[in-house]
Structure 1
Amino acid sequence: MYMTIKEAAVYLSISEYNLTALINEGKIRVVHDGSQYLLNKEQFNTHFEQLEQAKKLLEEWRNEPIPESVDVKDED
């Protein structure tokens, strides 16, 4: 499925200006149909999968209990 730059910016939650900059840098592929640039939605699937995996790993890390250190002394 193809999207316009405006639709893709909303889908990716970034500004059209930033999206255009990524396109100009060659980080995002586009197709020009003669009147507008179109982006294939499928090229972002891997990005979103990696983002979800990173969120899960971060959440696991946050929920991990802090181990007691053997070097900590109770000086009360």
Structure 2
Amino acid sequence: MYLTVPETAEYLGMPVSQVTKYVLDGRIRAVDDGEQFMINKEQFKNYHDHLEIAKQQIDEWRKNILLPDRDVRDED
């Protein structure tokens, strides 16, 4: 399934200008049909999965941060 740039921006949750820049820079593959860029949705099928995994890892990391103990003294 092919999406237009605005549809892709909505799908990814990005501004249209950023998606357009990524297409022009080659970071997002697209086909120019003469009027607009068409972007294959399948290239993003792992995007949301990886994004959710990264969010979970960050949340776990934040939960497990060890704060320095104020009672610890450096006695050499």
Q: TM-score range by the shorter chain?
A: 0.7 to 0.9
Structure 2 equivalent of residue 20 of structure 1: 20
The CA distance in 2 between the partners of 1:20 and 1:56, in whole Å, is: 29
Question: Which consecutive unaligned segments of at least 5 residues does structure 2 have?
Answer: none
**Structure 2 vs 1, CA of residues 32 and 63 (structure 1 numbering), >3 Å: closer, same or farther?**
same
**Structure 2 vs 1, CA of residues 37 and 68 (structure 1 numbering), >3 Å: closer, same or farther?**
closer
TM-score of the superposition, structure 2-length normalised? 0.76
Please, what is the CA RMSD of the aligned residues?
2.1
Structure 2 equivalent of residue 2 of structure 1: 2
Q: CA deviation at 1:55?
A: 0.8
* Aligned-residue identity in percent: 40
**Paired residues, what number?**
72
TM-score of the superposition, structure 1-length normalised? 0.76
Q: CA deviation at 1:25?
A: 0.6
The CA distance in 2 between the partners of 1:26 and 1:61, in whole Å, is: 33
